[in-house]
Structure 1
Amino acid sequence: MKTSARERIPGLALLALAMVFSVVPMASMLSAALQPQGTSPSGISWPADPQWHNFVDAWRVAEVTPLLISSIILVAGVVPVAALIATMAGYALGQLRIPGGWIFFVLLLFGLTLPREATIVPLYYQIRDLGLLNTRLGLILVLIGTFMPFAVFWMRAHFLNVPPELAEASAIDGATSWKAFRHIQIPIAMPAIASLSLLLFLWTWNTFLQAIVLIDDPSRRTMAGALQNFVGQYSTDVVLLNAGSLLIMAPTIVVFLIFQRQFSRALISGAVKG
């Protein structure tokens, strides 16, 4: 159904407003990052002599290389495992309708309401008692548990929208629930899994609180932890801080641009089926 130009105006206006709120802060950070070091830039003004070497200096000052490697290790440990567990749990809750599944789902909803700040102290003592303090494995386990309520909720919503006739047809053909999950449900769920993996990547990459509390060694933390290297006891280099922030944001922006089609497809698919 076609929409008239008058009906499209509010949507275009909201889209333009959202773009302004997204682009203006990025432009302000870029202009500040290109100013001479030691200055205090304000507003958006393109410098007459852009200091592109500020990004190189920010990379060196923040010691980004080990943090980049650490972030990649954390992402590789969190995203595949969390996506797999969430997909299996979502399939069990959305398609198999396991006995007592509603209790498990209610507990997950409670998990969504808990702020991370309220759980960080108990998590610290639990990880310490497990002997995993100051290790990436401990942080990976914490992040998987932290992201699991939303991840399962996301995948359950997808499997609830899958026609039950598919499962019935596979059962008639003699396929077990496991075979139906592997060969039928997972291919259908790929847009939802891809979009969930994108969200897990963004959240893991930007993890800050859990990383600084559970890991003492700065080189084992995430890229977001590099920001503290620009803040001294008595002063803060605003220029290098903005350059470092852009360096940290760059991988997430690139990954989102690459997988935005899968993310949009999952959202549209859920809206159409719902």
Structure 2
Amino acid sequence: MISGRERLLNYAVLTVFAVLAMVPLLGVVTSALTPAAQSSPSFTWPKSLDWGNFATAWNEGHFAAYLRSSVLVAVVVVLMTGVLAILAGFSFAHFTYPGRQLLFYVTLVGLMVPPEAFVIPLYFNLRGAGLTDSYWALILPQTAQSLAFGVFWMRNFFRSVPVSILEAARLDGASDWRILWRILVPVGRPALLTMAMLVFMWTWNEFLLPLVMITDENKRTAPLGLAFFQSEHTTQYSLLAAASIIVALPVVALYVFLQRHFIAGMLSGAVKG
């Protein structure tokens, strides 16, 4: 049982960390609302608020096209990773076949290899297949990168489900396919949403692959577009802050919307190793 003093100490520590996390965010928001004439690289409280910085950054930075590309790539990567991770995770968790453990550990190698190690040969491979400067040059590699985590995550969740539930379903005549999609997937909604959110965030924030694979301006993703916008507006700090908020807002909004499921999934997805 936690005493009142311990609870008070916990709240005090959490408050300190919350303030430390909010101060930089407050600085970015304040800078984005500062009129261009008052803009500076240091933290200053604006005399008036200029909401027009967001419209200017949106129009000059062509973020409508960039955000559309990012949404398309991220959604497809999440869907492909989710389906493949569910199937592979279920296989590794509840089927026995030769080489299962070895194949699982080989899959986990994807968690340990950084993109910088294979981006150059990957570029030549995709160029040989005629896929560079297309959305598939972003979707396929990022699906492969995310799949290692997705398989590990879903395998752990499926192993945490009591075996008695599966045995009862089999006694009722349910096939493995029916058990997976009618029982395990609905029960695993928090874990699935957590995985989807993490994969969406990683895909959305990816910078290296779009930089190497994409030359068409209309196919640039939001982080890549932000980098080009920054190079063109080096000293216009208000516009840079507004553009940064535009790029980060979808991920923040998704986290706020799925926060409860995210916390539940973090607790359920790592029950068993």
Structure 1 length-normalised TM? 0.92
The CA deviation string for residues 208-258 of structure 1, in whole angstroms up to 9 with x for no partner, is 111111111122121112212333379442221111001111111111101
Change (3 A) 1:63 1:233: closer
1:238 counterpart = 2:204: no
Partner of 2:158: 159
Partner of 2:26: 27
SS of equivalent to 2:36: coil
What's the offset of the Cα at 1:60?
1.1
Partner of 1:48: 47
Partner of 2:100: 101
Change (3 A) 1:233 1:65: closer
1 CA distance for matches of 2:109 and 2:86?
19
Identify unmatched segments of 5+ residues in structure 1: none
Paired letter, 1:214: M
Change (3 A) 1:235 1:16: same
1:79-228 equivalences in 2 (<5 Å): 79-228=78-227
Change (3 A) 1:197 1:164: same
Q: Do the aligned residues in 1 keep the contact of 2:159 with 2:272 (CA within 8 Å)?
A: no
1 CA distance for matches of 2:139 and 2:234?
33
User: Cα RMSD (Å) of the superposition?
Assistant: 2.1
Q: Do the aligned residues in 2 keep the contact of 1:35 with 1:41 (CA within 8 Å)?
A: no
Partner of 2:63: 64
What's the offset of the Cα at 1:39?
5.7
1 CA distance for matches of 2:244 and 2:222?
9
What's the offset of the Cα at 1:96?
2.1
Paired letter, 2:121: P
1:263 counterpart = 2:262: yes
2 CA distance for matches of 1:218 and 1:21?
37
Paired letter, 2:228: N
2 CA distance for matches of 1:182 and 1:202?
25
What's the offset of the Cα at 1:197?
0.8
1 CA distance for matches of 2:38 and 2:80?
45
Change (3 A) 1:257 1:61: same
Identify unmatched segments of 5+ residues in structure 2: none
The CA deviation string for residues 93-118 of structure 1, in whole angstroms up to 9 with x for no partner, is 12224432211221122211111211
> Could you tell which deviates more after superposition, 247-256 or 262-271?
262-271
Paired letter, 2:155: R
Q: Do the aligned residues in 2 keep the contact of 1:40 with 1:239 (CA within 8 Å)?
A: yes
SS of equivalent to 1:266: helix
Change (3 A) 1:252 1:218: same
Paired letter, 2:31: A
Q: Do the aligned residues in 1 keep the contact of 2:146 with 2:199 (CA within 8 Å)?
A: yes
Paired letter, 2:153: W
Change (3 A) 1:261 1:42: same
Aligned-residue sequence identity (percent) comes to: 35
Paired letter, 2:150: A
2 CA distance for matches of 1:14 and 1:83?
36
Structure 2 length-normalised TM? 0.92
Change (3 A) 1:233 1:169: closer
Q: Do the aligned residues in 1 keep the contact of 2:156 with 2:270 (CA within 8 Å)?
A: no
Change (3 A) 1:29 1:233: closer
Q: Do the aligned residues in 2 keep the contact of 1:38 with 1:239 (CA within 8 Å)?
A: no
Paired letter, 2:165: L
Paired letter, 1:260: Q
Change (3 A) 1:271 1:77: closer
Q: Do the aligned residues in 1 keep the contact of 2:41 with 2:237 (CA within 8 Å)?
A: no
2 CA distance for matches of 1:3 and 1:154?
32
